Amino acid sequence: ANLGTGQARLGFTAIPPGQTDALVVPPGYVAQVIARWGEPVGIAGNMPAFRTDGSNSAADQAVQLGMHHDGLAFFPLNGSSTHGLIALNHEYTDDGLLHPDGFVPMNAAKVKKSQNAHGLSVYEVKFNGQAWEMVRPSAYARRFTMDTPFDMSGPAAGHPLLRTAADPQGRTTLGTLNNCASSATPWGTYLSGEENWMFYFGGGTDISAHHKRWGLREKGLYDWERFDTRFDAAQNPNEPNRFGWVVEVDPMDPTSTPVKRTALGRAAHEGAWVAMTQDQRAVVYSGEDARFEYIYKFLSSGRMQPGGAKANRHLLDEGTLYVARFDANGQGQWLPLVHGQGPLTAANGFADQGEVLIKARQASDLLGATKMDRPEWLAIDKASRWVYCTLTNNSQRGAEGKPGVDAANPRANNSMGQIIRWREARDFDGMTFEWNLLVLAGDPANERAEAKGNVKGDIFGCPDGLGFSPNGLLWIQTDAHATQMYKGEFARIGNNQMLACDTATGEIRRFLTGPTNCEITGLTFTPDGRNLFISVQHPGETPTDRSDPKQPQKYSSWPDHQPDGRPRSANVVIRKIDGGVIGT
């Protein structure tokens, strides 16, 4: 069966696995670096230059591009494919690189700079006939940091579990954390997922069962709680409940207040992706990137209205959230997370719908949803209605005391990951679906059966970023960790990479390889399919030794390649030299 759109075939020359500190694209293509960490985002009158020694202040960083670029989306201005806005996530920081003397010792000024290097950026870009450039200053340029107010909306807004001393109404939270994947909605907004927010909180020695289920630990990974009591969950037990949401931003209105959409459920959200039913209801698919967690779908009650972001500002506030169960017979079911239905009752610890959404994991546990191998990005083939999801890896699958293999997650000690896909019967609002596995990632030369995979084409491991281009090719990006690369089961796979898949044939072909120890993530095309923007995250990332703050510089100097410089996350825009459509 032709499972893809079938519009386009792979038409580029595959490149070999990457082994060097360089970004490589196929013959006939050109890659250009833009929007490096620390460049001014373009706010008029406030454009401090990047200092290569890391000595920019926290205030400088609040108006410069953040660190660790991840998901991004291109928003055309007046429908243009040569002029638009990029909205971009900054997932986390490497505090060894962020400060002149690294992260030891941490102090309040360093925490503030780290907070200002998190969040989101909106910047303006234009193609000048030769190359893309940032437009600076730009009326659209914006940074969202840990000080930016976000409205809480939907059924959990104002819930007692969201109220804090600083926000007794529980309706306005400051900042967004660990934003990973992203997408653009059909009504012109940007959706961004708050992923590993739990690691920013110190839970103290007496962590509640609720916070434990979400992975809070005694101490945060970043030392924030020592200098900013908001992140001390022992003192502020409801502050963690204000993270883990899907964030919606209107990039076209620089005065707009971003919103956390509680109707979509709380999770370690990788991101969120929208399909429209034939009668214009919004269906939002999302997953949470954590071992043995879940895949979700939200179906709006209302219909999309003409008039863009303003006309649809409550579309994602009312509807029903479901969690996926993948059955062994190739069928599956969406299980509703509705208060009062089934086990989701006060007797089981859910006072109301708000609590069901805040404790979506606990609710999904009770519903018997399928525990997945770390769901990352999703991609929706609007023509065929197949929805694809990367399951990046799960080293604990089948381990003692952990869930064993199942049909959807079929490999024990799953080092390589897989891509699953499903399709509902008539429209995106189905309650049941058929599903199968597009590909098991791996290398057939590996000894262990579970690491061989069944890739038809170029080998890869740990699929993460995923998306369709306008011509219907499926693009896959990888995130193998620096501790794995170049050895063992990853010896032949090389640097993290980007591949294209023809879903009609299953063929997968390597398109791009990144610099040393980076992750390749985030993908967005201009409407004409002739420009591809991606993120190169954490080139040179420290494989092991957190005590040496300068360690990334031993591995990478990308993209500046200055002897005294620092590796920097950046966006890269890729074009065909002849101006043609990417991938064909």
Contact of 470 with 528, CB cutoff 8 Å? yes
Q: Select from 133-141, 200-208, 419-427, 459-467 the region that touches Ca ion (CB under 5 A).
A: 459-467
Complex with ligand FEO: residue 290 or 369, whichever CB lies closer: 290
Measure the CA–CA gap between 474 and 471, rounded to whole angstroms.
9
The count of other CB atoms within 10 Å of the CB of residue 490 is 24
Complex with Ca ion: residue 60 or 376, whichever CB lies closer: 376
Nearest approach, Cβ of residue 120 and ligand FEO (Å): 14
Nearest approach, Cβ of residue 199 and Ca ion (Å): 13
Nearest approach, Cβ of residue 211 and Ca ion (Å): 23
β-strands 69-76, 83-90 pairing:
antiparallel
Nearest approach, Cβ of residue 427 and Ca ion (Å): 29
* Residue type for position 451: A
- Residue 124: which of Ca ion, ligand FEO, none does it interact with, CB under 5 to 8 A by kind? none
**519 is a site residue for Ca ion (CB under 5 A):** yes
Measure the CA–CA gap between 26 and 412, rounded to whole angstroms.
35
* The two structure tokens encoding residue 222: 């970043």
* The two structure tokens encoding residue 165: 């001393």
Measure the CA–CA gap between 394 and 291, rounded to whole angstroms.
6
Complex with Ca ion: residue 250 or 376, whichever CB lies closer: 376
Q: Select from 254-262, 337-345, 411-419, 479-487 the region that touches Ca ion (CB under 5 A).
A: 479-487
- Residue 357: which of ligand FEO, Ca ion, none does it interact with, CB under 5 to 8 A by kind? none
Task: Specify the DSSP class assigned to residue 291.
Answer: E
- State the burial class of residue 47 (Cβ atoms within 10 Å of its Cβ: 0-12, 13-18, 19+): middle
Nearest approach, Cβ of residue 409 and ligand FEO (Å): 16
What are the backbone dihedrals phi and psi of residue 96, each rounded to the nearest 5 degrees, phi first?
-65, -35
Q: Select from 180-188, 336-344, 400-408, 546-554 the region that touches Ca ion (CB under 5 A).
A: 180-188
Complex with ligand FEO: residue 21 or 195, whichever CB lies closer: 195
Q: Select from 34-42, 57-65, 514-522, 556-564 the region that touches Ca ion (CB under 5 A).
A: 514-522
Measure the CA–CA gap between 34 and 403, rounded to whole angstroms.
43
Q: CA 243: distance to chain centroid?
A: 15
Angle, CA 466 vertex, CA 465 and CA 468 arms, to 5°:
145
Complex with ligand FEO: residue 377 or 433, whichever CB lies closer: 377
Complex with ligand FEO: residue 99 or 538, whichever CB lies closer: 538
Residue whose entry in the numeric block shows the structure tokens 């069928």: 331
- Residue 195: which of Ca ion, ligand FEO, none does it interact with, CB under 5 to 8 A by kind? ligand FEO
- Residue 443: which of ligand FEO, Ca ion, none does it interact with, CB under 5 to 8 A by kind? none
Measure the CA–CA gap between 473 and 468, rounded to whole angstroms.
6
**424 is a site residue for Ca ion (CB under 5 A):** no
Contact of 434 with 453, CB cutoff 8 Å? no
Nearest approach, Cβ of residue 195 and ligand FEO (Å): 5
Measure the CA–CA gap between 187 and 312, rounded to whole angstroms.
7
Strands (E) across 368-518 are located at 372-373, 375-380, 387-391, 418-424, 432-440, 463-468, 474-478, 497-502, 507-513
Complex with Ca ion: residue 268 or 451, whichever CB lies closer: 268
First to last CA, the chain: 22
When CB distances to Ca ion are compared, the closest residue is 479
Q: CA 159: distance to chain centroid?
A: 27
Which helix (DSSP H) or strand (DSSP E) does residue 74 occupy? Answer: strand 69-76
**288 is a site residue for Ca ion (CB under 5 A):** no
Nearest approach, Cβ of residue 283 and ligand FEO (Å): 22
Nearest approach, Cβ of residue 285 and Ca ion (Å): 15
**464 is a site residue for Ca ion (CB under 5 A):** yes
Measure the CA–CA gap between 581 and 566, rounded to whole angstroms.
34
From 118, 168, 174, select the one nearest 151 (Cα to Cα): 174
- Residue 502: which of ligand FEO, Ca ion, none does it interact with, CB under 5 to 8 A by kind? none
What are the backbone dihedrals phi and psi of residue 484, each rounded to the nearest 5 degrees, phi first?
-95, -30
The set of residues, in sequence order, having a beta carbon less than 8 Å from that of 449 and lying 6+ positions away, is none
**373 is a site residue for Ca ion (CB under 5 A):** no
Complex with ligand FEO: residue 289 or 541, whichever CB lies closer: 289
- Residue 519: which of Ca ion, ligand FEO, none does it interact with, CB under 5 to 8 A by kind? Ca ion
Measure the CA–CA gap between 347 and 432, rounded to whole angstroms.
29
Nearest approach, Cβ of residue 77 and ligand FEO (Å): 29
Complex with ligand FEO: residue 91 or 424, whichever CB lies closer: 91
Complex with ligand FEO: residue 335 or 520, whichever CB lies closer: 520
* The two structure tokens encoding residue 246: 């899907």
Measure the CA–CA gap between 520 and 369, rounded to whole angstroms.
30
Q: Select from 125-133, 296-304, 340-348, 370-378 the region that touches Ca ion (CB under 5 A).
A: 370-378
Complex with ligand FEO: residue 5 or 393, whichever CB lies closer: 393
List of residues contacting ligand FEO (CB under 6 A): 91, 180, 195, 270, 289, 376, 464
Nearest approach, Cβ of residue 92 and ligand FEO (Å): 8
Rg, the chain, Cα only = 22
SS3 80: coil
- Residue 65: which of ligand FEO, Ca ion, none does it interact with, CB under 5 to 8 A by kind? none
Nearest approach, Cβ of residue 119 and ligand FEO (Å): 14
Binding residues among 95-154 for Ca ion as defined by CB under 5 A = none
Residue whose entry in the numeric block shows the structure tokens 């306005």: 172
Complex with ligand FEO: residue 123 or 199, whichever CB lies closer: 199
Complex with Ca ion: residue 117 or 180, whichever CB lies closer: 180
- Residue 60: which of Ca ion, ligand FEO, none does it interact with, CB under 5 to 8 A by kind? none
Residues that bind Ca ion (CB under 5 A): 180, 376, 464, 479, 519
